[in-house]
Amino acid sequence: MRQIVLDTETTGLEPDLGHRVIEIGAVEVVNRRLTGRHFHKYINPQREIDDGAFEVHGISQAFLADKPVFEAVWEEFVAFVRGAELVIHNAPFDVSFLDYELGKVSAAPRRLEDICAITDSLAVARNKHPGQKNNLDALCRRYEVDNSQRQLHGALLDAEILADVYLLMTGGQTSLFGQGSQAADTAGAVVAEVVPQFERGSVQLRVITASEEELAAHEAFLDFLAADHAAPLWRRSQEVLDA
């Protein structure tokens, strides 16, 4: 199973008002393990950045001035995410912006859902932890994921953190090399570090069968039990099967 955990940063909150994507960060997970592959682009939005958005991510127009426009990176982006399950926190927000960007490129797919399955990790968190805070910082505290570098929002860093949180939240370890702390959910269940998996057939298990003497002793013991009590349940079940 191939999953892409994704986050974006934008110039504002409303694509309908012409706001644009300015950063895309995504990390690849295959069979619930981070592969180390990622997609990361800063994008020139060709418009101003709202003050409120700048306070969140700290990305300035001056910094983006020499970055490529979305039309120059969409093919690489689509190739990276195509066919995967996208995991996005508050997915409707990011998807609406990415669909807006794709819609402005005549050769691009119209919508992300045309090329990917989409999972909203915020909806997953709300279902698992109803009535609690389920933003990314709250989930990091709950699952003991280190987010100390998250002074400002950044798409790639947030995607990496979300990958850790999502895999812990859905029952598995995240580390590429099996390193990482244990985390406990609100029910007190501990998610342990990853255990090495052996390929089927790589370990031959020895099968030990009972000897004739042991089988005879077992039958004698069952006869002893039946002398003062009804026949043991497993013997009665076998008699029914043999009938």
With beta carbons less than 8 A apart as the criterion, state whether 14 and 100 touch.
no
DSSP string, 88-129: ETTHHHHHHHHHHHHHTSTTS-S-GGGT-EEEEHHHHHHHHS
Residue 149: its pLDDT value, please?
79
Residue 148: its pLDDT value, please?
86
Q: pLDDT truncated to tens, each residue of the chain (243 aa)?
A: 999 999 999 999 999 999 999 999 999 999 999 999 999 999 999 999 999 999 999 999 999 999 999 999 999 999 999 999 999 999 999 999 999 999 999 999 999 999 999 999 999 999 999 999 999 999 999 999 988 877 668 899 999 999 999 999 998 554 444 434 333 333 333 333 333 444 445 455 566 777 888 888 888 887 777 776 666 666 665 554 544
Full-model pTM: 0.70
Round to whole Å and give the CA distance between 148 and 137. Answer: 10
Q: Which residue in the list 19, 38, 153, 218 is annotated as catalytic?
A: 153
- 40 as an active site residue: the answer is no
What are the two backbone dihedrals, phi and then psi, of residue 7, each rounded to the nearest 5 degrees? Answer: -145, 155
Residue 150: its pLDDT value, please?
75
Residue 232: its pLDDT value, please?
64
Round to whole Å and give the CA distance between 55 and 153. Answer: 9
β-pairing, 33-42 with 183-184?
unpaired
Residue 223: its pLDDT value, please?
78
Residue 188: its pLDDT value, please?
35
Round to whole Å and give the CA distance between 233 and 62. Answer: 80
How would you label 85-108 residue by residue, b for 16+ Cβ within 10 Å and e otherwise? ebbbbebebbbebbbbbbeebeeb
CATH assignment, 2-191: 3.30.420.10
For residue 152, the Cα-to-chain-centroid distance in whole angstroms is 22
Residue 238: its pLDDT value, please?
55
Nearest to 14 by CA among 97, 114, 87: 97
Domain spans, the chain: 2-191, 212-242
Residue 234: its pLDDT value, please?
60
Residue 170: its pLDDT value, please?
95
Residue 183: its pLDDT value, please?
38
Structure-token match 């990361």, residue found? 40
